[in-house]
Structure 1
Amino acid sequence: MVIEKKNVIEETDTLIIGGGLSGLYAASILAAEKKEVLLLEARDRIGGRILCTGPNGFSADLGPSWYWPALNPRVCALINALHLTGYPQFETGYCRFQTRDGKVVTMEGQPMDPPGWRLHGGMSALVEGLYKRLPQGTVRLSHPVCDIERQEDGILVSVGVLDEPPECRIKASRVILAMPPRLAARSILFTPDLPHDLTQSMLRANTWMAGHAKFFALYDEAAWRQLGLSGQGFSYHGPLGEIHDGSIETGAPFGLTGFLATPALRRKEKEAMVPAMLAQLGTLFGEEAAHPTAFYYQDWSREPFTATEYDLRAAHNHPEFHLPSGKTTTWDNRFHFAGTETAHHLAGYLEGALASGERAARAVNQAPLTCNQKATHV
């Protein structure tokens, strides 16, 4: 791989755009097969919508929280390969339901079917495990792609801000676009223009989680369990719409976590939202729940590398993205789509992310071109 120099175009075999689960998984497959691969991530961290935080090694999931062993064979296989372990979602006890007028009703629990599991170390353990398997220098953070140009002998990718001189340029034989299709269509200049029907299908593909916000509250004790409650709650009143027990399998810290019901267009800054969220937790699960030892909040609609203005209305169905004619490649099989929205099955889930990353990596292996080989344009 050519060493980066100012005003010099680097070259690589396969360039992956996006350092979420899908992009990292595709990179790990190619790297394991000794293929030359470079991955660019716009953020200053890996993981994309997988985000964990917390004190003293505790990982509070502010992105995806669960996997379902009965439905997710790829996730389970990756967990085993990375020597990670999971545990069942705690669901023992009664559920709380809050009506539109604020009345709180205690009801039988609503366990997941099939059962959902959490991962020791949080979901970030998946991306961290994949990252550690990659050769040093494979991943470059803080590298937002702004321009992708098809050329006779490859694809030229520019990093930086549109309408400004690029920070760097990289030429690849093949490109895997492992980012939300809507975000790519909105933020990247393609030369030549992608076909109109393809661009429209990208813009129509809802970005899962892009319109949502999540919270995670930590406690030294799970006082709600002493009341016979599971930590599960649903509400039509107040900012919180869905709540679950987010505790680790054994011992402290304990946690409550879930999703906001307040639409993105009506959500205020974190400081203005937190008091109402804490008050609602106290109403649902007892006064102790209103006083966590730590509180975390993530509004994905405010993340420029996740959401666009089209995502301010949250998607309530998992997205599906299909190129015209059902294809997942374009530009003479040099340009491949990945990312969970592009999965044929379980789009929006971790399983979909892994499936799409695997598909894109296999497609790359079936097109043995180098930067110096010209392709015939169709």
Structure 2
Amino acid sequence: MLKTSILIIGGGLSGLYAAYLLEQAGFKDYLLLEAKDHLGGRVYSKEQIDLGATWIWPDLNPELMKLIHQLSLPYFYQHTSGELIFEKQRDQPAVRISGASWETSSIRLEGGMQSLILALTKGISVDRILLGHQVTEITYLEDQSLGLKIQHSHGSTTQFCCDQILLAAPPRLSANEFAFNPPLPATTLTHWMNTPTWMAPHAKYVAIYPEAFWKQQGLSGQARSYAGPLGEIHDASTSHQHAALFGFFSIPYTIRKEIEPTTLMAHCRAQLVRLFGSLAAIPQSEYLKDWTEDECIAIESDWKTPTLFHGIAPENTPNQSIWQNRIIGISSEWSKKYSGYLAGAVDAAEMGIKQILNSNDHQKLREI
């Protein structure tokens, strides 16, 4: 049985940031376990364009911006100048609306949000990250340590042992996928299951073009549509390399799952032609990412009984039980300030590390 002091479950932003903080403090007695064969979680970029987490709001996310500056990551402001298109029905002409840039100013990272993941990974010892390690069971052992059963991507299983767990997987997914022995308190499991997972019900489509032809028409690239299949569309262009549009699907997964991806993308192209003209018909490349089909993000209840993300965070450790401060939730949904956002992943990871400091004698962590 492999032993370590701290185990981080999940290699998304929160898990990687927690590992980065440990490294910054010179603490090496930890491991990060990721079920997939790559890192990033809900950060996922293709051709430097994000199909997962996309925006940072500098005025609203100062802690995340501090990290961006610390890592010297270049960024640019989201393009919103120009008119917005509103489509009520397919058989009615879309309406152009002036002065539609009412959103708080947001930025995107050069190279896509994946550049944040790569920058954090560079600050983490290579031997601390284990890919293809799916946690299936977590057991409170007689010596008061925690035992974990791991399913490997090639089919075998192994056992790990640790003192504390930083849980960088969403609460609902954790409650559904991990067997806890003895069981977590019923109230904890209920709260976790009732916390929607950000992005779990959603799907994104991206179309990349040789040029941003919509700008020549005085359009921002933003659109809102009741006709679909995309309900909300934005300019996804990079600052230098790509011109692109992306949209969130408005049709639910119960319908999406019955349609072939190529057919779904054809419907998206047809909608972009309706809204932006014939130049939208032939993108040079296109991508579809349905997060509801990602087994490391969504579970059945996310699409069978979807609920809007409410931003109300559960307690990040079980109260009044042997699990208290032994398992600490650090995914974005556990953030009290930015639950469900990128900034929430950073906030929850910082809070989790501080919680570890207050619950044991890890002297090397005192510098964080």
2:37 aligned with 1:48 = no
Per-residue Cα deviation, 1:58-88 (whole angstroms, up to 9, x for no partner): x110001110000011211111111101111
2:158 aligned with 1:158 = no
| Alignment equivalent of 1:336, drawn from 328, 333, 337 | 328
Q: CA RMSD in A?
A: 2.1
Offset at residue 113 of structure 1 (A): 3.0
Partner of 1:254: 243
3-state secondary structure, aligned to 1:366: helix
**1:110–1:331 CA distance, 2 compared to 1 (3 A):** same
**1:145–1:171 CA distance, 2 compared to 1 (3 A):** same
Partner of 1:225: 215
Partner of 1:95: 84
3-state secondary structure, aligned to 2:65: helix
My pick for the range that moved more, 95-104 or 172-181, is 95-104
| Alignment equivalent of 2:269, drawn from 250, 267, 278 | 278
Mapping for residues 333-372 of structure 1, pairs under 5 Å: 333-368=325-360
Q: Does the 8 Å CA contact 1:246/1:257 hold for their aligned counterparts?
A: yes
In structure 2, the gaps of 5 or more residues are 363-368
Partner of 1:176: 166
Query: Distance between the aligned counterparts of 1:26 and 1:121, measured in 2?
Result: 23
Q: Does the 8 Å CA contact 1:244/1:257 hold for their aligned counterparts?
A: yes
2:304 aligned with 1:310 = no
Q: Which amino acid aligns with 2:121?
A: Y
Q: Does the 8 Å CA contact 2:317/2:323 hold for their aligned counterparts?
A: no
| Alignment equivalent of 2:122, drawn from 111, 116, 132 | 132
Q: Aligned residues, how many?
A: 355
Q: Does the 8 Å CA contact 2:230/2:268 hold for their aligned counterparts?
A: yes
Query: Distance between the aligned counterparts of 2:332 and 2:42, measured in 1?
Result: 11
| Alignment equivalent of 1:113, drawn from 92, 103, 109 | 103
Q: Does the 8 Å CA contact 1:109/1:230 hold for their aligned counterparts?
A: no
Mapping for residues 6-25 of structure 1, pairs under 5 Å: 9-25=1-17
TM-score normalised by the chain length of structure 2: 0.92
Query: Distance between the aligned counterparts of 1:71 and 1:364, measured in 2?
Result: 27
In structure 1, the gaps of 5 or more residues are 1-8, 371-378
Query: Distance between the aligned counterparts of 2:119 and 2:322, measured in 1?
Result: 31
Offset at residue 314 of structure 1 (A): 4.6
Per-residue Cα deviation, 1:26-76 (whole angstroms, up to 9, x for no partner): 11111211221100011111010000012xxxx110001110000011211
Offset at residue 100 of structure 1 (A): 3.2
Query: Distance between the aligned counterparts of 1:155 and 1:107, measured in 2?
Result: 57
TM-score normalised by the chain length of structure 1: 0.89
Q: Does the 8 Å CA contact 2:316/2:330 hold for their aligned counterparts?
A: no
Query: Distance between the aligned counterparts of 1:208 and 1:111, measured in 2?
Result: 24
Query: Distance between the aligned counterparts of 1:298 and 1:111, measured in 2?
Result: 26
Per-residue Cα deviation, 1:129-169 (whole angstroms, up to 9, x for no partner): 111101121111111100000123311111118xxx96211
Q: Does the 8 Å CA contact 2:211/2:242 hold for their aligned counterparts?
A: yes
| Alignment equivalent of 2:252, drawn from 263, 266, 287 | 263
Offset at residue 109 of structure 1 (A): 4.1
Q: Which amino acid aligns with 2:248?
A: F
Q: Does the 8 Å CA contact 2:184/2:318 hold for their aligned counterparts?
A: no
Q: Does the 8 Å CA contact 1:264/1:314 hold for their aligned counterparts?
A: no
Query: Distance between the aligned counterparts of 1:321 and 1:329, measured in 2?
Result: 19
Query: Distance between the aligned counterparts of 1:337 and 1:49, measured in 2?
Result: 16
My pick for the range that moved more, 258-267 or 307-316, is 307-316
Query: Distance between the aligned counterparts of 1:274 and 1:339, measured in 2?
Result: 31
Partner of 2:224: 234
Q: Does the 8 Å CA contact 1:280/1:290 hold for their aligned counterparts?
A: no
**1:72–1:98 CA distance, 2 compared to 1 (3 A):** same
Partner of 1:76: 65
3-state secondary structure, aligned to 2:273: helix
Offset at residue 317 of structure 1 (A): 3.3
Q: Which amino acid aligns with 2:175?
A: A
3-state secondary structure, aligned to 1:160: strand
Q: Does the 8 Å CA contact 1:208/1:348 hold for their aligned counterparts?
A: yes
Query: Distance between the aligned counterparts of 1:217 and 1:28, measured in 2?
Result: 34
Offset at residue 127 of structure 1 (A): 1.1
Q: Does the 8 Å CA contact 1:31/1:37 hold for their aligned counterparts?
A: no
Query: Distance between the aligned counterparts of 1:305 and 1:362, measured in 2?
Result: 26
3-state secondary structure, aligned to 2:16: helix
Percentage of identical aligned residues: 36
Q: Does the 8 Å CA contact 2:318/2:324 hold for their aligned counterparts?
A: no
Partner of 1:297: 288
Offset at residue 102 of structure 1 (A): 4.1
3-state secondary structure, aligned to 1:284: helix
Q: Does the 8 Å CA contact 1:96/1:105 hold for their aligned counterparts?
A: yes
Q: Does the 8 Å CA contact 1:173/1:369 hold for their aligned counterparts?
A: no
